Amino acid sequence: MDAKFENDLTSDQWATLKALRVPAQGWRGLNRSVVESLIALDLAATSEDRPVLTRTGRSVLLRGSPRLWDVAA
């Protein structure tokens, strides 16, 4: 996995990645600019006019952010 995502994603981007895990939940309420930034990073894509996680996005999400690990500890 590319470590560049670990420190570059904002808290809004992390929250949006987490929200995309469950495709049936309120994806319409997501911040479009955040979704577009995730698409530009290849962490999300569109399928049937809705945002979905890509394989890379899922990997980044599963690995998590070291910044978020510090908050949880």
In the chain, domain spans: 4-72
The residue type of 50 is R
Query: At residue 70, does pLDDT exceed 60?
Result: no
Strand partners, 1: none
Q: Tens of pLDDT along 51-61?
A: 999 999 988 88
Residue 60's Cβ-side half-sphere holds a number of Cα atoms within 13 Å equal to 25
Residue 68 is given by DSSP the state H
Q: Tens of pLDDT along 16-29?
A: 998 898 766 666 77
Give the per-residue pLDDT at 1: 43
Give the per-residue pLDDT at 42: 93
Give the per-residue pLDDT at 35: 93
For residues 2-34, one letter each, b for 16 or more C-beta atoms within 10 angstroms of the residue's C-beta and e for the rest, the string is eeebbeebeeebbebbebbeeeeeeeeebeeeb
Q: Tens of pLDDT along 27-45?
A: 677 899 999 999 999 999 9
Token couple for 20: 């995309």
| CATH of region 4-72 | 1.10.10.10
